[in-house]
Structure 1
Amino acid sequence: MRAIQITEFGGPEVLTPVEIPEPVAGPGELLVEVSRAGVNYADTHQAEDSYLSRSALPLVPGGEVVGRASDGRRVVGLTGGGGGYAEWAVLPTATAWEVPDTVDDLSALSMVIQGATAWVLLRRSVHMARGDSVVVHAAAGGVGTIAVQLAKAWGAGRVIATASSKEKRDLALELGADVAVDAGVDDMKSALIEANGGKRVDVVLEMTGGRVTDDSLKALAPFGRLAFYGMASRELPSPIQPANLMSHSTTIAGMWLAHVFRLPGDVMRTALEELFGLVTEGRLRVIPGGEYPLSEARRAHEDMRARRTTGKLVLDPTR
């Protein structure tokens, strides 16, 4: 079968189209003919072996696929470590969910990682309350576009989006953000406070790192919450001092979606059922970020890392 394989860690240049044998499903697994594979920031970290979980070579990257299982069901799921950038993939049955006919492939893929991430961040990491001011960094990205819409739908008092271009900021406003801030401003703290009518903000969803994290923390109101779920800039924020947290009663949360499966109850199923319902009702809009042939996975990673994309990126294994 056609696949993308990594034989050495590095940047997008290590993504190589190859022909390899089809995978074989074992006990507790499903073999899926992939109709679309999702592309995520986590995949770029996996390619350079800088992700939270380490990878072994050779590796077929890709953590999410949608397609038709060998038993005929249409499913979306998480591969559990790679294998998604291919014509066929194996999913653990515990991380595969049936897709309603009312939800297309793009929307299904958008919900299983980006949608669930936004849901968990708002529901569990920051415990967003009605009336909270919510900052969504990278608001034109896969998680950001959904987080803006969910925060608005769930009663945020003010949704403040940040993005790197006018087009991306306009998109965030179209999706429901009350104000959009240039991600490249020199003083993000002041920009966020100004965007919130001169008041410090209650909630920040942050995946950039470095100065953006530092300034966002400084912009939080007493009992403000920041949830950190990525580091796209590859820049570390300043060390956190406990005294600084106490001075504003600040809460900082880290979130990695993999840990959701350790929680009691089927949190992912709960999240996906609500998200699929919102998509079906037309209350949650998925932004296409670009569909690339499987053979051009390298270009997809290049575009994502260069911030040339918005919304959800997918690979088409038939090309």
Structure 2
Amino acid sequence: MRAIQITEFGGPEVLRLTDLPDPEPGTGELLVEVSRAGINYADTHQAENSYLSATSLPLVPGGEVVGRAADGRRVVALCGTGGYAERAVAPTAMAWEVPDAVDDVAALGMIVQGATAWVLLRRNVHLQPGESVVVHAAAGGVGTLAIQLARAWGAGRIIATASSEEKRRLALELGADVAVDAGAEDMKAALIEANGGRRVDVVLEMTGGTVTDQSLAALAPFGRLAFYGMASRVPPRPVRPESLMSHSTTISGMWLAHVFRLPGDVMGTALKELFGLVADGRLRVISGGEYGLSEARRAHEDMRARRTTGKLVLDPAR
């Protein structure tokens, strides 16, 4: 089968198209004939071995696929690795049937980005009706969905940040009340101004560096910042626990893999609600572009350079 394989860690240049034997499913696994593979920012970290979990070589990257199981069911699945290929193996427990009303791009948009936005808002920040919400990287896969979910769940003022006028327009179209330039020199001041001179209640942050620092400083009493990525590769300043008392603020982190350690089927609950919102037309995945398998390197280059919006997918047939 055709697949992308990494034999050395590094940037997009290490993604190489090759031919590999078909993977063999073991006990408790299923083989998926991949119609589309999702591309996530985490894949860029996986390629350079800077992700939360260490990886070993050689590696076929890609943690999510949609396609047909051997029994004909259309499924979307988390496979951990191996997704950038014509066929992939996933644990049976990590595969969910896709309703007919949900297309491939939407299915892939829900399983990581949609579920991430759902968990951040439902479990990390416990969004309350009327609260102000800041969504950084608002034109990305998680950001575009977080804006829509926050609106559907009764948020008050939604403040989006994005790096270009086009991306800021998209955020406004999706339901944000105001869009702020992600390059604002004083992000704290920009967020407070965008919220009518008031500090903000909730921040969803995946940039790192000064964006995190200044967003934390913009929180209102009992405000919550949920940190779920570090796209800038620059860590924020360390936070001393006693400093959180000055505004009774909370910082949380979220890695979707930990959801599977919680009691009950949290992912199944999230996907059921998300698929329902998609089918009802209340939630849409912004297609950020489709790349052929041979274009995986360009996909990573575009993502890292912030040239993309929405959900990116690979078509293993080309």
Partner of 2:69: 69
Q: Which residue number corresponds to residue 49 of structure 1? A: 49
Are 2:17 and 1:17 equivalent residues in the alignment?
yes
Residue 318 (structure 1) aligns with: 317
Per-residue deviation, residues 8-64 of structure 1 (Å, max 9, x unmatched): 000000000000000000010010000000000000000000000000100000000
Distance 2:30 2:196 in 1: 51
State the 1:242 CA deviation: 1.4
Task: Provide the C-alpha distance between the structure 2 equivalents of 1:263 and 1:301, rounded to a whole number of angstroms.
Answer: 32
Aligned residue in 1 for 2:269: 270
| Alpha-carbon distance in structure 1 between the residues aligned to 2:253 and 2:78 | 21
Distance 2:77 2:189 in 1: 41
Using structure 2 for the length normalisation, give the TM-score.
Answer: 1.00
Distance 1:191 1:241 in 2: 24
The aligned residue for residue 89 of structure 2 is 90
**Structure 1 residue 285, shift from structure 2 partner:** 1.1
TM-superposed CA distance for 1:111, in Å, is 0.1
Partner in structure 2 of residue 79 of structure 1? 79
Q: Aligned partners of 1:90 and 1:62: how far apart in 2?
A: 11
**What corresponds to 1:240 in structure 2?**
239
Distance 1:301 1:256 in 2: 21
Normalised to the residue count of structure 1, the TM-score between the two structures is: 0.99
Which deviations, in whole Å up to 9, do the C-alpha atoms of 1:50-103 show, x marking residues without a partner? 0000001000000000000011100001002x1000000001011100000010
Q: Give the 5 Å matches for 1:9-158.
A: 9-80=9-80, 82-158=81-157
* Equivalent residue letter for 2:42: A
Q: Once structures 1 and 2 are overlaid, which stretch shifts more, 236-245 or 143-152?
A: 236-245
Partner residue, 1:217: 216
Per-residue deviation, 1:299: 0.2
Q: Distance in 1 between matches of 2:315 and 2:305?
A: 21
Q: SS of the residue aligned with 2:276? A: helix
The root-mean-square deviation of aligned C-alpha atoms, in Å, is 0.4
Q: Which amino acid aligns with 1:155?
A: G
Q: 1:153 & 1:175 partners in 2: Cα distance?
A: 11
SS at match of 2:50: coil
How far residue 7 of structure 1 moved from its aligned partner, in angstroms, is 0.1
Once the two structures are TM-superposed, the CA of residue 241 in structure 1 deviates from its matched residue by 1.1
Stretches of structure 1 that go unaligned for 5 or more consecutive residues are none
Aligned AA for 1:278?
A: L
Q: Could you tell me how far apart the structure 2 residues matched to 1:156 and 1:254 are?
A: 21
Distance in 1 of aligned mates of 2:309 and 2:146 = 14
Q: How many angstroms apart in 1 are the aligned matches of 2:283 and 2:14?
A: 35
* Alignment-mate amino acid for residue 7 of structure 1: T
1 CA distance for matches of 2:304 and 2:133? 25
Q: Calculate percent identity across the aligned residue pairs.
A: 81
The CA distance in 1 between the partners of 2:177 and 2:150, in whole Å, is 11
3-state secondary structure, aligned to 1:260? helix
Aligned-pair distance for 1:127? 0.3
Task: Name the SS of the counterpart of 1:17 in structure 2.
Answer: strand
The whole-number CA distance in structure 1 between the counterparts of 2:241 and 2:100 is 49
Instruction: Give 1:243 shift.
Output: 1.9
Residues of 2 paired with 1:53 and 1:238: CA distance?
22
Aligned amino acid, residue 235 of structure 1: V
The residue aligned with 2:6 is 6
Can you give the 5+ residue segments of structure 2 that lack an aligned partner in the other structure? none
1:288 matched to 2:265: no
CA–CA separation in structure 1 for the residues paired with 2:106 and 2:317: 19
Residue type at the aligned position of 1:28: G
Task: Find the aligned partners of 1:144 and 1:65 in 2 and give their Cα distance.
Answer: 21
Residues 206-239 of structure 1 show CA distances to partners (whole Å, capped at 9, x for unaligned) of 0000000000000000000000000000001001
Structure 1 counterpart of 2:165: 166
Give secondary structure in 2 for the equivalent of 1:161: strand
Report the Cα offset of residue 191 of structure 1: 0.2
- Cα distance in 2 for residues equivalent to 1:130 and 1:287: 25
Deviation string, structure 1 residues 93-152 (Cα, Å, up to 9, x no partner): 111000000100000000000000000000000000001100000000000000000001
Give CA-to-partner distance per residue, 1:173-197, whole Å, 9 cap, x none. Answer: 0000000000001000000000000
Matching residue of 1:208: 207
Provide the C-alpha distance between the structure 2 equivalents of 1:157 and 1:194, rounded to a whole number of angstroms. 15
